[in-house]
Amino acid sequence: MLNLENFFSNCNVDYVKDVDQWHELRGKGIGGSDAGIVMNVSQYRTPYELWEEKSGKAKREFITNEAIEKGNKLEPIMFNLFKTLYSSKYEVIDTKDISLSSKQFPFLRANLDGALINKQTGQKGVLEIKSSTIQNASMLKKWRKDDLPITYYFQVLHYLYVTGFDFAIVYAILDIPWENKQETRVIKMYREDLEADIEYLIKTELWFWDKVKTNTPPPFLENRNLELKEVN
């Protein structure tokens, strides 16, 4: 049986008993879904709103809707499908009952959909599962070729940093109702090609968390960029 503490050697491993504990751990730092917000590329939340939540000034409301419910139902199905289709290439590890944090920066957290071991090379990887309803051609363009939406991109970079793993695979099902079809994407990302972007992301996350610790609201765009230039 795989020893998860040894496998995730860069991380502290918390075993999650229920949803309440998961939310509690998530609130202790910056998670993968927060990365795009910190980078100011989310269309749903601003860095200031995230700062209010993380600094305890506002309580996060965990809402649900049809798309979220569908995604929650599809995730275990897609996990098992990926495992079946790619078992010759990867050992696929279920991570649904654990929450990770960086040993170097414990406020950087990760809740993975799965982890991978390349059976040929022994390299470790992150499995990220996505299901998305594509409402128009503009949304579909974000998934063209080997691209993915920018918020998901930063989420994967965040996970690669926290785990220290070598690669990530995004396994996505796109529901395209206006064309009455579904498409599958398997996008592989290698850490060695992403180091500069990972470095900038982590620099920004460290800057943001300092704002949380010092109870200082993050500035708006112009002053934000000036501050980040001064961060080593």
Mean confidence (pLDDT) of the chain: 92
0.85 surpassed by pTM:
yes
136 pLDDT more than 90: no
pLDDT digits (tens, 9 = 90+) for 209-219: 999 999 999 98
Judge whether 76 lies within some domain.
Answer: yes
pLDDT digits (tens, 9 = 90+) for 173-211: 999 988 899 999 999 999 999 999 999 999 999 999 999
Judge whether 217 lies within some domain.
Answer: yes
CB 14 within 8 A of CB 110: no
CB 205 within 8 A of CB 35: yes
Judge whether 56 lies within some domain.
Answer: yes
Instruction: Say what the pLDDT of residue 186 is.
Output: 96
Judge whether 1 lies within some domain.
Answer: no
* Domain interval for residue 42: 7-230
23 pLDDT more than 90: no
Judge whether 153 lies within some domain.
Answer: yes
- As a whole number of angstroms, the distance between CA 9 and CA 128 comes to 19
Mean predicted confidence (pLDDT) in 168-177? 95
121 pLDDT more than 80: yes
Could you give the C-alpha distances from 99 to 15, 85, 110, 232, in angstroms and in order? 6, 26, 6, 29
182: its two tokens: 């579904």
Judge whether 2 lies within some domain.
Answer: no
Mean predicted confidence (pLDDT) in 30-50? 95
What is the total count of domains within the chain? Answer: 1
Could you give the C-alpha distances from 133 to 71, 93, 122, 139, in angstroms and in order? 10, 27, 34, 9
66 pLDDT more than 80: no
Residue 49 maps to which CATH number?
3.90.320.10
Judge whether 155 lies within some domain.
Answer: yes
Mean predicted confidence (pLDDT) in 98-125? 98
Instruction: Say what the pLDDT of residue 84 is.
Output: 98
- The model's confidence at residue 160, banded by pLDDT at 50, 70 and 90, is very high
Mean predicted confidence (pLDDT) in 126-130? 97
